[in-house]
């Protein structure tokens, strides 16, 4: 039978699309949710066969902070899935290509997603642009150095947690890689907290009376808490708008009574926490893993939106099999970006360019494994200098 790819418009269709996503992901816990609460009208696409939704792909309206601090229009892609009976028929390929065309039509400069499988999305132009790592801090050994700033005031807001409070803080995020957390994301987080049988605790940090950070944490294995040889608290969301908020929240978490380990689910790969304690082995870092899979939907607009370091310009030729309007050469310099007919110094596909865009992947490493065609000696060095950033990109948001 023929398959039609189109927006899912009715509540029944939207819930059917979300059901396909849950079935495809197999192990996700939330089953009793109205998907209409989590989605935006017109953004949920489905592949429909004989009236049945057999695949789906959703996105949220968002922004992404790029090097230099600009926020560019961003599509947060999520809820991608296909029924196991309809795999390997090219349905997801058609669905994601349609989604990218729709995103481009909305004027969104970039798209990003979190990948359940690492071998799917590169062929659609997505590249790994940021990574994250977990950490476990053993409190008996984790003593903050005396020179670590004291931070500000920390208050408990348990029982008074609202999306307005938390998003009022998070919405000012300015670090490279941060994205806007859409309303559907906040609704899901609140529903999950309300449904959880284990209490989560929320603390808010403020400096001179202005809220500038928060942390949400919960105890693990509460059934055997008092008899456990290792009592663990997991920090699921840690937001600090500046260094002062970060150290103030550290001081709270590292001073919790009856706790042996504070575990962070996700930190930037260059997070300074190990440098803040007298015994850095008290902070056990997990391996880095891919976080942001980024797609440049409008290459020229994306390149123009970020800043570049002071270095001689390079001409980068870009190929894009899904969005051919991006194909061409771009002269990238510290002051300007423009299309050009000049001979390229480097040639890459759009996924490889996306991997370098936030500064999280070096041109040198990509060239070393054959993902960059180098036409001009020293062009890789110049590109690395141009795309260099002071801090590694990090989103800190799973969607």
In 3D space, the residue among 261, 271, 365, 326 whose CA is nearest the CA of residue 101 turns out to be 326
- pLDDT recorded at residue 259: 97
DSSP conformational letter for 270: T
* Same domain, yes or no: 285 and 139: yes
- pLDDT recorded at residue 145: 98
Structure tokens at 394: 């990090």
* Same domain, yes or no: 280 and 302: no
In 3D space, the residue among 79, 89, 95 whose CA is nearest the CA of residue 30 turns out to be 79
* Whether residue 170 lies in the annotated active site: no
Domain boundary among the residues 289, 322, 340 is at 289
* Same domain, yes or no: 31 and 170: no
What's the Cα-to-Cα distance from 170 to each of 22, 134, 178, 383, rounded to whole Å? 28, 20, 9, 32
Domain boundary among the residues 125, 158, 175 is at 125
- pLDDT recorded at residue 197: 79
The reply to whether 307 falls in a domain is yes
CATH number at residue 241: 3.40.630.30
* Same domain, yes or no: 151 and 244: yes
* Same domain, yes or no: 137 and 279: yes
* Same domain, yes or no: 221 and 145: yes
- pLDDT recorded at residue 192: 83
- pLDDT recorded at residue 194: 79
Whether 256 contacts 142, CB under 8 Å: no
Q: Which of 121, 126, 264, 357 does the annotation list as catalytic?
A: 121
**Pairing between β-strand 314-319 and β-strand 153-156 as defined by DSSP bridges:** unpaired
- pLDDT recorded at residue 31: 66
CATH number at residue 356: 3.30.1050.10
* Same domain, yes or no: 145 and 258: yes
Domain boundary among the residues 125, 148, 166 is at 125
The reply to whether 247 falls in a domain is yes
Alpha-carbon gap, residue 253 to 264, rounded angstroms: 11
Place of tokens 């819930």: 15
- pLDDT recorded at residue 218: 95
The reply to whether 261 falls in a domain is yes
pLDDT over 70, % of the chain:
99
What pTM value is reported for the model?
0.95
Domain span including residue 256: 132-289
* Same domain, yes or no: 81 and 104: yes
Structure tokens at 264: 């962070």
The reply to whether 397 falls in a domain is no
- What length does the chain have? 399
The reply to whether 395 falls in a domain is no
* Same domain, yes or no: 363 and 381: yes
- pLDDT recorded at residue 63: 98
Alpha-carbon gap, residue 311 to 8, rounded angstroms: 48
Query: Given CA atoms 70, 351, 41, 33 in this order, what sign does their dihedral have?
Result: negative
* Same domain, yes or no: 213 and 194: yes
Structure tokens at 115: 């990948």
The reply to whether 394 falls in a domain is no
Alpha-carbon gap, residue 21 to 307, rounded angstroms: 37
**Pairing between β-strand 346-349 and β-strand 314-319 as defined by DSSP bridges:** parallel
Alpha-carbon gap, residue 131 to 190, rounded angstroms: 26
Q: Which of 124, 238, 308, 399 does the annotation list as catalytic?
A: 399
**Within 10 A of 226 (CB to CB), how many other CB atoms are there?**
7
* Whether residue 201 lies in the annotated active site: no
* Same domain, yes or no: 354 and 326: yes
The reply to whether 399 falls in a domain is no
Spans in the chain with pLDDT lower than 50: none
Strands (E), the chain: 4-7, 45-49, 52-65, 71-82, 110-113, 127-138, 153-156, 201-207, 210-219, 232-240, 261-268, 283-285, 289-296, 314-319, 328-332, 337-340, 346-349, 373-374
Contacts of 160 (CB under 8 A, 6+ apart): none
Number of domains making up the chain: 3
Q: Which residues pair with 215 in a beta bridge?
A: 203, 238
In 3D space, the residue among 286, 284, 283 whose CA is nearest the CA of residue 144 turns out to be 283
* Same domain, yes or no: 151 and 271: yes
Q: What angle do CA 105, 109, 110 make, to 5 degrees?
A: 110
């Amino acid at each position: 039978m023929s398959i039609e790819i189109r927006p899912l418009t009715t509540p029944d269709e939207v819930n059917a699309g979300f059901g396909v996503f849950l079935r495809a992901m197999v192990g996700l816990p939330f089953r009793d949710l109205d998907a209409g609460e989590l989605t935006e009208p017109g953004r949920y696409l489905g592949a429909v066969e004989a009236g049945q939704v057999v695949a789906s792909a959703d996105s949220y309206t968002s922004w992404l902070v790029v090097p230099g601090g600009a926020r560019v229009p961003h599509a947060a892609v999520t809820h991608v899935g296909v029924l196991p009976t309809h795999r390997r028929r090219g349905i997801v390929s058609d669905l994601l290509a349609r989604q990218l065309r729709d995103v481009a039509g909305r004027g969104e400069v970039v798209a990003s997603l979190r990948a359940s499988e690492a071998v799917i999305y590169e062929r659609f132009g997505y590249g790994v642009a940021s990574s994250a790592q977990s950490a476990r801090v053993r409190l008996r050994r984790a003593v903050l150095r005396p020179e670590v700033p004291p931070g500000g005031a920390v208050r408990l807001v348990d029982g008074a947690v609202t999306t307005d409070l938390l998003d009022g803080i998070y919405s000012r995020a300015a670090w490279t890689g941060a994205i806007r957390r859409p309303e559907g994301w906040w609704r899901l987080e609140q529903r999950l907290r309300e449904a959880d049988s284990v209490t989560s605790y929320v603390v808010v940090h403020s400096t001179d009376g202005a809220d500038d950070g928060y942390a949400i944490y919960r105890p693990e294995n509460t059934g055997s808490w008092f008899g456990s040889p290792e009592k663990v608290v997991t920090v699921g969301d840690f937001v600090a708008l500046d260094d002062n908020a970060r150290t103030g929240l550290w001081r709270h978490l590292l001073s919790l009574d009856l706790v042996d380990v504070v575990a962070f689910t996700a930190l930037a790969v260059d997070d300074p926490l190990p440098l803040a304690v007298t015994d850095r082995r008290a902070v056990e870092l997990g391996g880095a893993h891919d976080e942001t899979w980024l797609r440049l939907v409008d290459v020229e607009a994306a390149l123009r939106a970020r800043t570049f370091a002071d270095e001689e310009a390079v001409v980068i030729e870009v190929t894009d099999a899904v969005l051919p309007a991006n194909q061409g050469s771009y002269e990238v310099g510290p002051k300007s970006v423009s299309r050009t007919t000049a001979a390229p110094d480097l040639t890459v596909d759009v996924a490889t360019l996306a991997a370098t865009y936030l500064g999280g992947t070096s041109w040198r490493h990509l060239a070393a494994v054959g993902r960059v065609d180098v036409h001009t000696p020293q062009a890789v060095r110049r590109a690395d200098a141009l795309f260099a950033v002071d801090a590694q990109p990090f989103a800190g948001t799973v969607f």
